[in-house]
Structure 1
Amino acid sequence: MSLPIANGWLSEAQPCPSPNFNLRPVGTEISLLVIHNISLPPGQFGGGHVQAFFQNRLEASAHPYFATIADLQVSAHLLIERDGAITQFVSLEERAWHAGVSSFEGVANCNDYSIGIELEGTDDVPYSDAQYQSLEKVTRQLLATYPKLTPARITGHDQIAPGRKTDPGPAFDWPRFFASIK
């Protein structure tokens, strides 16, 4: 099953536009997929807090942790929730703010040339079968759509920002994921 893309938006993703994006540098081709994880508050799933965070609507008083991040302006292209539901925040053609200070194979500023997918989760809680299934479908479509994107150019946030980030963490089953996209 394919997930058609129109104007940078996945047809089967729930749109939830974020203001936290900008244009990619002129002439830049998408050539990297970065896998992340997120849960808000940390270790808790559901509740719509990630969506609020990426839309700059996170209520700082709703949880002590939220007060520490509510002023950040970040986003990802996609979020895959525990049940496999896909939410899209930024057009794939635009530059989401997911990688921060980063480098892949000596090329800095990964946001310029990457797509960021957040999995609802933590470094040490296994991801759900539904998440792997949705991630496989999305990844297959991205590989078919963007010729510079290859399995060798799929990585974790921890690999592009070592020492600063740890996600998607040891709970992410890389062999399972790569076997699914062959």
Structure 2
Amino acid sequence: MAHEWKSGWFIPAQHRESPHFNARPTAEVSLLVIHNISLPAGKFGQRYVDDLFMGKLDYQADNSFHLLEGIRVSANFFIRRDGELIQYVSCDDRAWHAGVSEFEGRSGCNDFSIGIELEGTDHQPFTHKQYQQLIQLTRAIMAQYPDITKQRITGHSDIAPERKTDPGPYFDWQYYLTQLC
């Protein structure tokens, strides 16, 4: 995969510009946050994650969606089960993925982080294609944003432990991190 960037957009990714972002308060990008998401929960290959990030979710499409009504959320990247890579927000801008969060005593992780959502749940393993795409993307991010090191890659559950559990116990941190050498 080529490591080409333009204004914070990773050229090899499919680009879908979410309205759910704003300017970073600083140019610093020094944290990578791994998440998981599926809508409805545990159902894959649907359009609903895309709809949520694009602000177009039909809250009547599933009984569980009423809990998301009015939520404005995005991520920089989304990796589907088949490895498809979609970018929603430039890495130079602040995506709205972490919410109330803290890393190494610093709050507001959206201000200085990139968020990657993996299509999945806390209750089952991620696919080989997802790991391969995640590893390639992470390498490209680390090359473009050198303040992001292996020590500055974390899970959503680590920066918001009272609220979040993702990427969950099935995410293979050891495999992922050893592939980044």
**TM-score clears 0.5:** yes
Residue 181 of structure 1 aligns with an amino acid whose one-letter code is L
Contact map agreement 2:2 2:12 (CA 8 A) in 1: no
What TM-score do the two structures reach when normalised by structure 1? 0.97
What SS class does the counterpart of residue 45 from structure 1 fall into? Answer: coil
- 2:45 aligns with 46
Q: Distance in 2 between matches of 1:101 and 1:145?
A: 26
Aligned residue type for 1:166: T
Instruction: Report the counterpart of residue 97 of structure 2 in structure 1.
Output: 98
1:66-107 deviations in whole A, cap 9, x for unaligned?
Answer: 121032000000000000000111001000000000000001
One-letter amino acid of the counterpart of residue 151, structure 1:
K
User: What is the percent sequence identity of the aligned residues?
Assistant: 52
Aligned length: 181
Partner of 2:76 in structure 1? 77
Per-residue deviation, 1:14: 1.0
- 2:151 is matched with which residue? 152
Partner of 1:68: 67
Q: Name which of structure 1's ranges 110-119 and 64-73 shifts more when overlaid on structure 2.
A: 64-73
Residue in structure 2 matched with residue 19 of structure 1 by the alignment: 19
For structure 1, the residue ranges without an aligned partner over 5 or more in a row are: none
Distance 2:54 2:3 in 1: 24
Any idea what SS the aligned residue of 1:62 has? Answer: coil
Structure 1 moving runs of 4+ over 4 Å: none
How many Å separate the matches in 2 of 1:3 and 1:127? 24
Letter in 2 for 1:179: T
CA–CA separation in structure 1 for the residues paired with 2:129 and 2:161: 28
Aligned-partner Cα distance in 2 for 1:128–1:14: 20
1:134 aligned residue: 133
How far does the alpha carbon of each residue in 1:133-172 deviate from its partner, in whole angstroms, 9 at most, with x for none? 0000000001111121101000000000012100000010
TM-score (norm 2): 0.98
> Aligned equivalents of 1:145 and 1:175: distance in 2?
23
Matches within 5 A, 1:153-172: 153-172=152-171
Give the deviation of 1:2 after TM superposition.
Answer: 3.1
> In 2, Cα distance between the equivalents of 1:8 and 1:102?
23
Q: What CA RMSD, in Å, does the superposition of the two structures yield over aligned residues?
A: 0.8
Partner Cα separation in structure 1 for residue 111 and residue 104 of structure 2: 14
